[in-house]
């Protein structure tokens, strides 16, 4: 069985955002709830119930940092759907 885990890049909730600072200047991380989903998928694979974990996200090339973070957590491969043209 393969597991598909969607995840999204969000502003780091642990960083204080200044009132005058642009939202794009804030550091981006994987949504904490999506991190929980990745961890659960890893547990399922450790039990032997899954063969591969694939992460998928939608965003511009800037989300590659979050893709690398998900790969470092242990997913097998990741897919990024580019939405940079939509803006």
CB atoms within 10 A of CB 76: 14
Local confidence band at 24 (pLDDT 50, 70, 90 cut-offs): low
Write out pLDDT tens, residues 28-78: 999 999 999 999 999 999 999 999 999 999 999 999 999 999 999 999 999
Alpha helices in 1-87 (DSSP H): 32-47, 64-73
Q: Taking 90 as the threshold, does the pLDDT of residue 6 lie above it? A: yes
**What does the buried/exposed string (b/e) look like for 34-51 if buried means 16 or more CB atoms within 10 Å of the residue's CB?**
bbebbeebbeebeeeebe
The residue behind tokens 């642009």 is 22
Nearest of 5, 60, 61, 54 to residue 31 by alpha carbon: 5
Of the chain, the end-to-end C-alpha distance in Å amounts to 36
- Polymer length of the chain: 87
């Amino acid at each position: 069985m393969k597991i598909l885990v969607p995840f999204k890049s969000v502003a780091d909730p642990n960083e204080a955002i200044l009132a005058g600072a642009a939202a794009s200047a804030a550091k981006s991380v994987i949504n904490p709830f999506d991190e929980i989903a990745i961890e659960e998928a890893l547990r399922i694979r450790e039990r032997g119930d899954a063969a591969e974990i694939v992460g998928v996200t939608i965003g511009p090339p800037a989300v590659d940092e979050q893709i690398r973070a998900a790969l470092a957590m242990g997913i097998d491969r990741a897919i990024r759907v580019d939405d940079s043209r939509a803006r």
